[in-house]
Structure 1
Amino acid sequence: MGRLTTHVLDTALGKPAASLRLTVWAINNEADIKTALKTVETNDDGRTDEPLLEGDELHRGTYEITFDVAAYFARSGAAISEPPFLDQIPVRFTVADPSGNFHVPLLVSPWSYSTYRGS
């Protein structure tokens, strides 16, 4: 049974990004349509309490996780520009085998970010 998970780390403060809102989208590339599947907030460890998608929810196809980093950094007291340099970070990826595990970490500061396929 496959699953999709994430972990968000605030590299400016050197700690997990707690209470960061994110939305998981299914992408229909042929019709250029995005469908919101789930909106959640990260916990104190920068993770979600449950997988973002799991089992029958995860299909072969294109997905996007949109991380609402501007609101997170505004609440954290970080020194950010107005308007913020980074607002929402979309991470788009494909799932070829829905029985696999897909972990999409985000390392983020007010000025930069990186991501990768984790394990």
Structure 2
Amino acid sequence: MMSFSTHVLDAVTGRPAEGVAVRLEHAGEVVADGRTDADGRIKGWNPGPGVNRVVFDTGAYLADTFYPEVVITFTVTDPAAHYHVPLLLSPFAYSTYRGS
């Protein structure tokens, strides 16, 4: 079964971003939601095959940010794979990649 995890790192402090609200969407429906733990992580979610979106409520985490929401759209092509989508976050920039 495919699985999904994410990790949010606060680039300003160099520490995990605890308490960031995150939701996973598939086919226009919310399939999971939660908040990052003390290590900035969420794990164990199950995306669907095809196009998915992970949405980070960065505006609630960063008081003064240019990006109040970060949306990362990704495609699940292997139903047996694990999909890890990290987010490196600062008030005026963010980056992501496909992790392992």
Q: Does residue 1:92 correspond to 2:64, yes or no?
A: no
Residue type of the partner of 2:7? H
Q: Provide the rounded CA distance (Å) in 2 between the counterparts of 1:19 and 1:37.
A: 19
Q: Across the two proteins, how many residue pairs are aligned to each other?
A: 100
Ranges of 4+ aligned residues in structure 1 off by more than 2 Å: none
Counterpart Cα distance in 1 of 2:66 and 2:62? 11
- Could you tell me which residue of structure 2 aligns to residue 30 of structure 1? none
| Equivalent AA in structure 2 for residue 102 of structure 1 | Y
What runs of 5+ residues in structure 1 fail to find an aligned partner? Answer: 28-33, 75-79
* Residue of structure 2 aligned with 1:42, choices 36, 42, 52: 36
Q: Cα RMSD between the aligned structures? A: 1.1
In structure 1, the partner of 2:44 is 51
Give the corresponding residue for 1:31.
Answer: none
- Higher alpha-carbon Rg: 1
Aligned residue identity for 1:21? A
Structure-1-length-normalised TM-score: 0.79
**Out of 85, 90, 94, which is 1:113 matched to?**
94
- Measured after TM superposition, the shift of residue 2 of structure 1 is 2.1
Work out the CA distance in 1 between the residues paired with 2:57 and 2:51: 20
Structure 1 counterpart SS, 2:61: helix
**Alignment partner, residue 53 of structure 2:** 64
Report the structure, 1 or 2, having the larger helix content: 1
Look up the match of 1:5: 5
Is there any run of 5+ residues in structure 2 with no aligned partner, and where?
none
SS at 1:19's partner residue?
A: coil
- Structure 1 position 66, deviation (Å): 0.4
Fraction of identical pairs, as percent:
39
Give the CA deviation at 1:59.
Answer: 3.0
Distance, in Å, in 2 between the alignment partners of 1:98 and 1:9 is: 27
